[in-house]
């Protein structure tokens, strides 16, 4: 039972990292490519603080491509921190639920839903 719940939790966490989250009214990714790009662009801003870039995402209402204009290193650092914060929330929730699973009795495990616990906990953390 425990192994099944831990596997479900792992699947939920993996899925969470592929989703988009809202930043400045644009849905952006937090996947490995987004993190890598954010670090690279942050480094470019350090070299040329006058540059301007556009971070692509999705408009939550129209579902069309939308952009966030980034005009300085502070804005880019804030975007990077938002990505890392989104991921940190997922890791915190996963760790808490893992601990709960490991501390649960066999009887508690029969009605336990790692998927539901993960979704419920994220609602509290992300909002």
When pLDDT is averaged across residues 56-67 and rounded to a whole number, the result is 96
By residue range, what is the domain housing residue 14? 2-126
When pLDDT is averaged across residues 55-70 and rounded to a whole number, the result is 96
Asked if the model's pLDDT at residue 19 lies above 60, the reply is yes
Sheet holding 65-70, edge to edge: 20-23, 26-29, 53-58, 65-70
Residue 102: its H or E element: helix 73-103
pLDDT of residue 123: 82
> How many domains is the chain built from?
1
Query: pTM for the whole thing?
Result: 0.86
CA atoms within 13 A on the CB side of 89: 19
Asked if the model's pLDDT at residue 126 lies above 70, the reply is no
Asked if the model's pLDDT at residue 125 lies above 80, the reply is no
Q: Do the Cβ atoms of 89 and 100 come closer than 8 Å?
A: no
What Rg value do the Cα atoms of the chain yield, rounded? 18
């Amino acid at each position: 039972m425990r192994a099944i719940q831990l596997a479900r939790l792992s699947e939920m966490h993996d899925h969470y990292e592929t989703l988009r989250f809202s930043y400045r009214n644009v849905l952006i990714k937090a996947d490995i490519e987004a993190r890598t790009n954010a670090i690279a662009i942050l480094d470019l801003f350090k070299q040329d603080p006058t540059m301007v870039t556009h971070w692509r995402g999705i408009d939550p209402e129209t579902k069309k491509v939308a952009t966030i204009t980034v005009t300085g290193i502070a804005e880019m650092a804030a975007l990077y921190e938002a990505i890392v914060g989104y991921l940190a929330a997922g890791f915190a929730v996963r760790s808490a639920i893992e601990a709960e699973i490991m501390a649960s009795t066999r009887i508690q495990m029969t009605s336990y839903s790692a998927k539901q616990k993960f979704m419920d906990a994220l609602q509290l953390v992300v909002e």
